[in-house]
């Protein structure tokens, strides 16, 4: 599976990229329909501590799934996004894969 990580207006450290890649690889190991993933990390310009945004687009055979979450850290936001994507994958499997 190909994972592309883009950090908007900042440089993501290797530890964060490895964390996200590892989580995505675990998800892909359970779902052979996943072809790749695009991750976008953004910092919101607000002064609140909940200013880290993680967006993930998962490419499936014939379809894409997308989720975006905002939290205090990129790791927490990534976990929330992956939980949302797991639910979307379950719905996709029930609907399209029999």
CA gap 34, 50 in Å, rounded:
30
CA gap 74, 70 in Å, rounded:
8
CATH of the domain at 9: 3.30.160.100
Spans of the chain, pLDDT less than 70: 97-98
Q: Give residue 39's domain range.
A: 2-96
Number of structural domains found in the chain: 1
What per-residue confidence (pLDDT) applies to 33? 85
This prediction has a pTM of 0.91
Task: Let me know: does 53 contact 44? Beta carbons within 8 Å.
Answer: yes
What per-residue confidence (pLDDT) applies to 59? 95
């Amino acid at each position: 599976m190909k994972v592309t990580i883009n950090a908007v207006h900042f440089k993501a450290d290797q530890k964060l990229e490895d964390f996200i890649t590892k989580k995505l690889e675990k998800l892909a190991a359970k779902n052979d329909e996943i072809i790749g993933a695009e991750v976008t990390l953004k910092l919101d310009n607000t002064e609140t501590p909940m200013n880290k945004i993680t967006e993930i687009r998962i490419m499936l055979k014939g379809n894409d799934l997308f989720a975006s979450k905002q939290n205090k850290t990129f790791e927490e936001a990534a976990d929330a996004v992956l939980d949302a994507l797991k639910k979307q994958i379950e719905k996709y499997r029930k609907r399209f894969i029999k």
